[in-house]
Structure 1
Amino acid sequence: MPSNIRIKRLCAYCGKEFEARTTVTQTCGNQCAKLAYNARKKAVKIDGSHRQTKARTDIKAIDTIKSKEFLTVHDAATLLNSSRQTIYNLIQAETIPAVNISVKKTLIRRSAIDHIFTGQPVIPMAPIKQIDTTPLEECYTLQEVQQKYVISDKTLYDLIRRNAIPKQYKGRYAYVAKTHIDELLAGSSTH
């Protein structure tokens, strides 16, 4: 079924004015459509080439940074693949020694960056959450613990976190083993 729509448009390729028969027509004819398609394909290839060149340039920049004895904050951030603020935080925490040459010029010795990885102890990973497998009949809900021992929810959460008491979940309720809670709070019971 032919369309009765007639819209004045400018060709996306040659720029000439033409009369389009649909709302999505971009070019004045088949020849301009083919040329526009080829131009888009060429642009994609050129963009890919630019990305490869930039990646190679970044590798060369890192090699250049590695060969320097003194690094700026920006160089150190590039070398550690982090932000400049992270480097400033490490300087402030005295993890990395640095010298202010002038108001806006901070230099870091390259060997100090290397020392971070060889001289610092490894920070242990956070413990993995424990999941309790105690049957639910032998567990309290958190609300039951609050009512039995008359403590606030913040206090209860802090005690559970501080003593690494494992929780288990069923639906929207969290459960803790009665044995763990009774051991921990037996002395403070008001009953």
Structure 2
Amino acid sequence: MKQVRKCKYCGKEFVARSGMQKYCCEECQTKAKEARKKRQQDFMNAVEPVIGLQNQEYLTFAKAAILMGCSRQYVYKLVNEGKLAASRISSRMAFIRKADIEKMLAGNPYHRVLPTNRPKKSTPQTTKRSKSNVMSVESNVQESKVLDYISGEEVMRIYKVKKSWLYTSAKRNQVPVCRIAGMNYYSRKHMDALFGKSAEVEAVSEWLTMKEAQELYGMSAASVRSNAYRHHIPTKREYGQTYYSKDHFGQLRRTDIVNDNSYYTVREAAEKYGMSTANVGIIAKKNSIVTVKVGVKNLIPKMDFDRVMAERLAQFGSYSLV
């Protein structure tokens, strides 16, 4: 008697040749075997990390997420809310103790929510009443706080920031926000502290963009940023564009001296008198010649250096060191 069965892999009906046959063809049998191996491998990939974490006392955020069975972002959330303790070792490394995870879980036991404790459904009358209360609260807030809070559009117009940067900065710096009639209002005091311009910035009349500073002074973008940070050059940011004080950069780079023909660079002096740059530095130091440092260059007054070299030639008959 023929036995008609369904294939365990594709579900297609077939006539079994023996009582042990489960698949309609060899192809389905091979695919079923591969699927079975894949399931076993996926299981081992999921279990092995947890097994390896059983003997670890200190866990990274990623490993803590694996051990707890949640996402890494949720672990960050628990740490930021103060529910889970973590220790920062460096700017890029932080650890969580397994004992702290167990302490957090022990301190927050599960409480079953009974049907009697569930909040009652609001009726149309209570909904109207709550809406009227919200409107009154909003009107009171609007009347009492309007002088201390400014809208997001005003913040963007006054401080010249983009909307995305406003939202990010307000959230990152915990700026008080008041929502009235569907609009966000931000604390003027905190906005002044966050985006307000200092008196030094207000006194600057000429500004340079990053590209202009690079072209004018022959510097890379990284050099412009590092010099501005290191030498406290006033900067401002408007609509995502950073501007640098032209006067302060000019004083730093000393363009008036660099373009002045009354100064040698160390290399120019060495080439003129046929000596090494080290000898030029030694001669300038021994004869107390005041040099001017501009960036990585040392500028030497031509008049003083030529006088010293003329004296050396008259005294020793050559320019070389004695």
User: TM-score band, normalised by the shorter chain?
Assistant: 0.3 to 0.5
Q: Which has the higher contact order (CA 8 A, sep 6+)?
A: 1
Find the structure with the greater CA-based Rg: 2
* TM-score after normalising by structure 1: 0.46
